[in-house]
């Protein structure tokens, strides 16, 4: 009994020490008038540093989006990766910070997200506490990270699209509303040619609303399968086979475009990096943080960084 109690005391003490060793810094970066508040966490010096690159929407540093998504997947990943001795930094996307509301009225271009990320890379580039910088681009952030990767050591794409945004949206329309296929293609052609659409089909307003057109026009100029060919740094491509938003075929397209990359498909992992076993769980995992992060995801990334 004494031996069991001693073991429990030592174990609990070990966990407490481990948690106490995580150092946290709040960092405010600025891109002109845009404020990008973020959090850096690490356990030791001379460790690799991951910079997280967000997907689409108003994603905050923890992986939540107003008003509905509360998956907290980035916070879960942060905690898991810190336990492996790897530093982690994520920031509130410019669209998640209410202080940027006035500045965002004039609109956002895709390149703005790239420039925001470059500010983060520049901030840490000469920080002697970290041995190297790794970008993890999630979903839309995969392409953002590709375009900002010239001063980093490794690149990881998680649930990144393999096609340009117009082709992704057209494919989705073909699957869900095929009667709108030709109209969608015509709208994208007009957008690519003129930068705007004069008359949007009412059934496609959620995609081509006037306030979206400038961003879409800037986004469709980039093709991920072409951009990834330009990368010469070690590259890892990950996708979950339970991802409802980005298919395994997208990851395969990226991998085939850069044959020096490593491809890993993770069973049961969905788009917000949770392990799910059904459609119901998949949908619920976006709305609450109860679902566990994929352990295989963490293991795969740690092995890649330490190779």
Look at residue 182 and tell me if it is in a domain.
Answer: no
Please count the structural domains in the chain: 1
The answer to whether residue 72 sits within a structural domain is yes
In a domain, 198, yes or no: no
Would you say residue 277 lies in a domain? yes
Long-range pairs, 137-140, Cβ under 8 A, ≥24: 137/53, 138/52, 138/53, 138/54, 138/55, 139/54, 139/55, 139/56, 139/245, 139/246, 139/271, 140/54, 140/55, 140/56, 140/113
Tell me what pLDDT residue 213 has. 95
Q: Could you tell me the residue range of the domain that residue 52 belongs to? A: 2-164+222-305
Q: How far is C-alpha 300 from the chain's CA centre?
A: 16
Confidence (pTM): 0.91
Residue 124 lies in a domain: yes
For residue 210, tell me if it sits in a domain.
Answer: no
Instruction: Classify residue 32: in a domain, yes or no.
Output: yes
Residues 30, 229: Cα–Cα separation, whole Å: 30
State the DSSP string of 108-150.
--HHHHHHHHHHHHHHHHT-TTEEEEEEEEETHHHHHHHHTGG
CATH no. for residue 10? Answer: 3.40.50.1820
Residue 207 lies in a domain: no
User: Can you give the pLDDT of all 307 residues of the chain as single tens digits?
Assistant: 455 544 444 444 444 434 549 999 999 999 999 999 999 999 999 999 999 999 999 999 999 999 999 999 999 999 999 999 999 999 999 999 999 999 999 899 999 999 999 999 999 998 999 999 999 999 999 999 999 999 999 999 999 999 999 999 999 999 999 999 999 999 999 999 999 999 999 999 999 999 999 999 999 999 999 999 999 999 999 999 999 999 999 999 999 999 999 999 999 999 999 999 999 999 999 999 999 999 999 999 999 999 8
């Amino acid at each position: 009994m004494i031996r069991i109690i001693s073991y429990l005391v030592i174990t609990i003490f070990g966990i407490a020490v481990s948690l106490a060793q995580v150092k946290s810094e709040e960092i405010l970066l600025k891109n002109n008038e845009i404020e990008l508040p973020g959090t850096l966490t690490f356990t030791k010096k001379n460790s690799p540093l991951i910079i997280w690159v967000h997907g689409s929407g108003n994603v905050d540093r923890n992986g939540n989006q107003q008003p509905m998504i509360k998956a907290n997947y980035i916070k879960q990943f942060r905690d898991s990766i810190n336990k492996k001795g790897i530093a982690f930094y994520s920031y509130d996307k410019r669209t998640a910070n209410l202080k940027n509301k006035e500045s965002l009225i004039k609109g956002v271009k895709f390149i703005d997200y790239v420039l925001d990320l470059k500010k983060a890379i520049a901030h840490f580039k000469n920080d002697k506490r970290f041995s190297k910088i790794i970008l993890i681009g999630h979903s839309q952030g995969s392409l953002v990270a590709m375009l900002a990767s010239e001063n980093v050591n490794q690149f990881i794409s998680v649930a990144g699209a393999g096609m340009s945004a117009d082709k992704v949206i057209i494919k989705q329309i073909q699957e869900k509303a095929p009667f709108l296929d030709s109209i969608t293609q015509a709208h994208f052609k007009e957008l690519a040619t003129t930068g705007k659409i004069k008359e949007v089909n009412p059934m496609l307003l959620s995609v081509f609303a006037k306030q979206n057109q400038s961003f879409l026009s800037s986004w469709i100029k980039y093709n991920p399968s072409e951009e990834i060919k330009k990368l010469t740094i070690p590259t890892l491509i990950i996708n979950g086979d339970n991802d409802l938003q980005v298919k395994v075929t997208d990851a395969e397209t990226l991998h085939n475009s850069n044959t020096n990359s490593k491809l890993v498909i993770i069973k049961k992992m969905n788009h917000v990096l949770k392990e799910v076993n059904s459609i119901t769980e998949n949908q619920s995992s976006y709305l609450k943080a109860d679902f566990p992060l994929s352990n295989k995801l963490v293991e795969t990334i740690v092995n890649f960084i330490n190779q």
